[in-house]
Amino acid sequence: MNARLPDITVVVTGVANLASVLAAWRRLGVTPHVTEDPDEVRRADRVELPGVGSFGAAMERLRETGLDAALSERVDAGRPTLAICVGLQVLCDASEESPGVTGLGRVPGTVARFPDRVRVPQFGWNRVEAPAGGPLESGYAYFANSYRLPVAPAGWTAAITDHGGPFASALWRGDVLACQFHPELSGAWGLGMLSCWIRGEVAPGGDR
């Protein structure tokens, strides 16, 4: 008999579309709990920080609720934490999208806008090239972003995608995983990534 999967605590940021996120976890047999209580985030076994919207609005909400400190503590301690789209971006130092707004500073670097020579925003499927040994394998993911982290930061393992040049489309260090793409919208490949991460497993090699 398969072991029961752990629950997931999903952070409310005020800028995220939670419906697809919660539906993806339920399809995997995972029970999601929604919260904006920083103490619950500190106590939770596994936490997801979803994100749709602007860097500045997300950071404002995190600071208003005290979630900024709770999430920073989790990342620093290497506790299981998943950040999606703007969730990845707010882990960084800053973003060109919101000048003067500081991020959580857990990932070194500034998020930058895609160059004008390519379509901005990037909407749709793109290739993710992932090194072996992590929670995701190479494949195609769904993106919806105008900004990205152009340089893979020191201290993190990175998956790379190209849109107007290479950028870090996913980062992980231990049980902390941050993705610029939306795994909940990325079909079987995305669900496979979520399943590997929630189980603490390494993804199989090759494409799905």
What amino acid positions are annotated as catalytic residues?
A: 85, 182, 184
Provide the domain limits for residue 16.
Answer: 8-199
- Give the pLDDT score at 208: 42
> What does the pLDDT look like over 141-190, one tens digit per residue?
999 999 999 999 999 999 999 999 999 999 999 999 999 999 999 999 99
Residue 77 domain flag: yes
Residue 64 domain flag: yes
Residue 152 domain flag: yes
CATH number at residue 86: 3.40.50.880
Domain count, the chain: 1
- Give the pLDDT score at 3: 62
- Give the pLDDT score at 15: 63
Residue 68 domain flag: yes
Q: Would you call the peptide bond into 121 cis, given omega within 30 degrees of 0 as the criterion?
A: yes
Closest CA to 8 of 42, 45, 43: 45
Residue 205 domain flag: no
Distance CA 115, CA 165 (A): 9
Residue 3 domain flag: no
Residue 2 domain flag: no
Residue 82 domain flag: yes
- Give the pLDDT score at 187: 96
The residue ranges of the chain whose pLDDT is under 70 are 1-3, 15-16, 205-208
**Exposure string over 85-122, b if 16+ CB within 10 A, otherwise e:** bbbbbbbbebbebbeebebbebbebebbbbeeeeeeeb
- Give the pLDDT score at 13: 81
